[in-house]
Amino acid sequence: MPTKLYTGKSGILKNICEFDKLQHTGETVYSFGYEGGFDRVLGKVDWSEKKTKFCGIFSMHAGARGSTTKRTKIRYVKAGKGDIEIAIYKDTVRIFKLTKKAPYMILIKDKAIAAGFMNYWKVLWEKGRK
């Protein structure tokens, strides 16, 4: 089955270990959602030691911090506040519901679904502001 559900902070973080392996390959992770939710619920990711490139589209808000490394590119759109973040790389999509009480992540490994999400990502990237 190409879909898995990971519940709670510990369940998500177990899967993130697999994601950490990717972070040393130089691949690009494409993401969109509300900036800061991942850090707030799961802990801060230190991208400074990673080879992975990160391109994110986030909802514009007062605390927006922008790009933190040379391998990170951020754009902003007006989309309101939320607790969803979506990460896309290769044939994988991770959909995070980032609430303190009951966070979960849906992992989808499907080339066509990943391509579909990338199409939406590209539209948002073109509309986003630096």
Contact 63, 36 (CB under 8 A): yes
- Mean pLDDT, range 59-82, rounded to an integer: 73
Structure confidence at residue 62 (pLDDT) = 54
Residue % of the chain over a pLDDT of 90: 32
Which residue bears the tokens 């506040």?
81
User: Which letter does DSSP use for residue 47 in this model?
Assistant: G
Among candidate residues 34, 38, 1, 32, the one with its CA nearest the CA of residue 16: 38
pLDDT above 80 for 96: yes
Per-state percent for the chain, helix, strand, coil, to nearest 5 = 30, 35, 35
- Mean pLDDT, range 103-120, rounded to an integer: 95
| Three-class secondary structure of residue 72 per DSSP | strand
- The CATH number that applies at residue 17 is 3.30.870.10
What is the per-residue pLDDT across 17-48, written as a single tens digit (0 to 9) for each? 666 666 667 788 899 887 777 777 877 766 56
Q: Which range (37-41, 61-65, 81-85) has the least confidence?
A: 61-65
In sequence order, the β-bridge partners of residue 48 are none
Q: What is the pTM of this model?
A: 0.83
Contact 112, 92 (CB under 8 A): no
In sequence order, the β-bridge partners of residue 15 are none
Number of structural domains in the chain: 1
63: containing domain: 3-127
Structure confidence at residue 102 (pLDDT) = 92
